[in-house]
Amino acid sequence: MSIFIGISTFWLLLIPRISILIMTNLIRETSFGGIFVPNFKVIINLKAGSGEAAEVWPQLQQALKQVQIRYRSYVSEYAGHAISLATKLADEADDTNESEEQTVLIVVGGDGTVNQVLNGIRRSQHPDTPIAYFPAGSGNDFARSLHLTKDAHTFAAQLTTIDHITPLNIFDVHMTDSANPVYRQQKFLINNFGIGFDAHVVHLTENSQTKNTLNRWHLGNLSYASNILTVLRKQAPFQLTVYDEANQPVHFKHAYLTTMTNIAYFGGGIKILPTADPHQQEIDLIVIDKPNFPRLLKLIRQILTNGHHVNSPGVHLFKGDHLRYEISPAQYGQMDGEDMGKHQFQITAENAQHPFWI
């Protein structure tokens, strides 16, 4: 009898608390069946999108206030700062099973900011800390692939209704340089890793003398567009070897672009590989041989319209849960829109997953 009374008392005390959480839309269920209250922490890159993030942040603050979402905010103050911020904030999470709260990091910025936050989380003591994303960059290809809203009030309202974590595909990428034994990096990506044409464009744009001036006038895309024309003339072919699923080498002597991608888009809305999907646990690689001028025009038209370029001669596709490839001579690389420098890349990539609050 005393045991029954004790159990009854326990539920009488617990039910009101659960009811309050449900009424305030704060209780959530994880993909593993556990229950937690999201503890939102916002990382903002105010420079993202040529300053667009700085303009939308006050709107998002107001929207979060209207739906009574409590949060703490942190500003990324310099290049790479979002990485250390994400590590620190994820490490602050309580990892005991008794805790009802779980940190959710909201990213306000572009694809590069999401990449930094992801990498910061993955090196933390809580590498499965969920990410929510409000796109405020110049390209926003990750948001485009997932049809994420750019409206502050819609985003805030969605945060109160999401009731589960969504696991999405990411790539665990290991990079070395066959000409430089010292170079060795391991990074996670959300969008794509490109070598050749697209990476050359990113490099010129990031190092343009007019970049800061154009960004102040919200004309950063003009710099990107002008550099596309420059690279169309200057990008030389390079040698590429891709190892297939049987670990057999496939050689390309005149590669012009090679992009390992998790999503359909790159370069701010260009649908480079329509079938790529971050909900699928696959790595897609597209290789394009250097075309002559008439074929180049046709490829551009197909990429921008119907996606039929994937069936064109000189376009090669690879797919798997892991990939390995290498290039020669040194070429520019880009990861999620960020310049990776010029290297004689040797790439090994594997599938991984990360929880998102979307």
> pLDDT tens digit string along 302-325?
999 999 999 999 999 999 999 999
Report d(CA 58, CA 112) in Å as an integer: 21
Q: Are 190 and 142 in contact (CB under 8 A)?
A: yes
Tell me whether residue 110 is in a domain.
yes
Q: Is it the case that residue 7 has pLDDT exceeding 50?
A: no
Could you give the residue ranges of the DSSP H alpha helices within 73-219?
Answer: 81-91, 111-122, 141-146, 152-161, 197-206, 211-216
Domain edge (last residue) among 164, 195, 223: 164
Look up the pTM and report it: 0.87
Domain edge (last residue) among 133, 164, 195: 164
Backbone φ, ψ for residue 95 (5° rounding): -95, 15
* Residues 197, 109 share a domain: no
Q: Is it the case that residue 15 has pLDDT exceeding 60?
A: no
Looking at residue 96, its pLDDT comes to 44
Q: Is it the case that residue 112 has pLDDT exceeding 90?
A: yes
Give the domain range for residue 308. 170-356
Q: Is it the case that residue 166 has pLDDT exceeding 80?
A: yes
Domain edge (last residue) among 131, 164, 197: 164
* Residues 148, 77 share a domain: yes
**What is the H or E stretch that residue 2 is in?**
helix 2-23
For the stretch 251-308, pLDDT in tens is: 999 999 999 999 999 988 999 999 999 999 999 999 999 999 999 999 999 999 999 9
CA 246 to chain centroid, in Å, comes to 29
* Residues 180, 156 share a domain: no
Question: CB neighbours (10 Å) of residue 321?
Answer: 12
